[in-house]
Amino acid sequence: MLLSELLTMLITCCLSMNTIQGDEICYNHLGCFYNTKSGKIRPLPWSPEKINTRFLLHTRDNPEMYQEIFSGNMTSVRRSAFRIRQKTVFIVHGLADTAEDNWVSQMIREILRVEDVNCVGVDWRDGAAHLHLYAQASSNIQVVGGEIAFLVTRLQEELDYPPSHVHLIGHSLGAHAAGEAGKRCRGIDTEKSLHLDSSDAELVDIIHTDADPVFGEILYSPRF
């Protein structure tokens, strides 16, 4: 390897926005993430760029065609159909899923039918695409939750939008992403873990269901 190439690699590493130290990885706008849960080691989450979390906004003004909004660009929110006076519902999908043309979009339409709110489909398909990478996806949700928390924080800071108007709904790993967002939005780091519990929000409602046609019923629904 040429000396110039080696120097280029070193400079690139030094200028990188990411820093890795032991069992954590940090990203400038999101903070730090960890690879431990209940004493077990799991992969560190991928970068925000690789996971590519997207926010797809639907309202009663645009129930079918989403508008993409960006946490790093509040102009995208101001120019969208987002309504400051309405509540906002985030819906986060799980493993090997998306937020487009599936149950998420159907759920958004049903929510908008009964309530005038901002509905945001959280699409993190790039970090959840492969069934055989469950361990990685279960770690990636930390970044997804961090991205949601960052957007909610920006809405509060830039548009004076209260976090109390935000309702997070997550399916499977998406529920854990919602829990992570609840922790980070309030600036609380509870044991640096990835579970969903009563400390994540003012109201945490967990509904366990089964898609089996015979046993497809609500099994347990604790409310904290």
For residues 222 and 205, what is the distance between their CA atoms, to the nearest angstrom? Answer: 6
**Average pLDDT rounded to a whole number, residues 63-70:** 96
Please name the helix (run of DSSP H) or strand (run of DSSP E) that holds residue 224, with its range, or none.
none
- Given pLDDT bands bounded at 50, 70 and 90, which one contains residue 40? confident
Task: Indicate yes or no: pTM above 0.75.
Answer: yes
**Domain map (residue ranges) of the chain:** 43-185
Label the pairing between strands 36-37 and 40-41: antiparallel
Does 55 score more than 60 pLDDT?
yes
Hey, is 20 helix, strand or coil? Answer: strand
**pLDDT number for residue 87:** 96
Residue 11: its pLDDT value, please? 42
How far apart, in whole angstroms, are the C-alpha atoms of residue 26 and residue 19? 5
CATH number of this structure's domain 43-185: 3.40.50.1820
Q: Side by side, which strands form the sheet with 31-34?
A: 19-21, 24-27, 31-34
Structure tokens at 203: 């109201």
Paired strand residues for 167: 89
